[in-house]
Amino acid sequence: MTAPTTTTDSDVAETPVTVAGDRGPARRFGILAVAAAVVVGLLLGYAGGLLTPRLTRPGDTSAEAGFARDMTTHHAQAVEMGLIAFQRGQDPEVRQIGGDIASGQQGEIGTMQTWLRSWGLDPTGSEPPMAWMPDGRASVRNGLMPGMATPEQMAKLRAAEGRELDVLFLQLMRDHHLGGIHMIQGILDAGGDEDVLRVAQTMKNTQQTDLINLQNALKRLGG
């Protein structure tokens, strides 16, 4: 999960940049460390899901199953965006935020996928996206769930450099989290599984904290 970020310039030791723009072995080690954190988060998420005893199992068309499937897809885009920011962001705080979001949401993906397996359900279901949430289907735009970046926006983020990348990431992730919180509130209102509700509330709290950090960073960068 993502903790509040209070990174300052004195907290980050910048690695010298070579002529080719490479930040050197220390930066590459940092990238490997976050990649490892993403993998560990996924494994811990799986373990957390497996340790929860289940007396009843949500069905294939339940709100819990729909939430787990749709939020997995939603989180997967956030993980990609976070890794782009961590690997190529210019601002130290942006890199930290991106790495934290990528590792935290990958762990939550592991938890949700473990739920589905423990319920005897497939990763994908027969229901369309957001069908589990009242009026949810109306919130889908061009096949995208609330807050998700369009293919064009993702292509622009992948191609961006420097401050442009930092600001675009912060803007897209802000919108992504706002949509994610809307979906989380949907399961909090409609769900009945205690473990799902507990994890969903933690997701909501984390993303609300992330939003504060994202907005503060945007303000500092003039975005």
- Extents of the domains making up the chain: 25-221
- Given this model, what pLDDT does residue 10 score? 42
Residue at 181: amino acid letter? I
- Given this model, what pLDDT does residue 12 score? 40
Nearest alpha carbon to residue 1 among 100, 123, 91, 90: 100
DSSP state of 7: -
- Given this model, what pLDDT does residue 223 score? 79
Alpha carbon distance 64, 141 (integer Å): 22
Q: What is residue 5's three-state secondary structure?
A: coil
- How many alpha carbons lie under 13 Å from residue 173 in its C-beta half-sphere? 38
Q: Render pLDDT for 169-185 as a digit per residue (tens, 0 to 9).
A: 999 999 999 999 999 99
- Given this model, what pLDDT does residue 33 score? 61
Degrees to nearest 5, angle at CA 180 with 178 and 183? 115
pTM: 0.76
**Third-level CATH fold of 25-221:** Ferritin (1.20.1260)
Alpha carbon distance 61, 49 (integer Å): 20
In this prediction, the residues of the chain whose per-residue pLDDT falls under 70 are: 1-55
- Given this model, what pLDDT does residue 56 score? 77
Q: What is residue 49's three-state secondary structure?
A: helix
Instruction: Count the neighbouring beta carbons within 10 Å of the beta carbon of residue 31.
Output: 16
- Encoded tokens for 9: 């310039």
- Given this model, what pLDDT does residue 86 score? 98
Alpha carbon distance 201, 139 (integer Å): 21
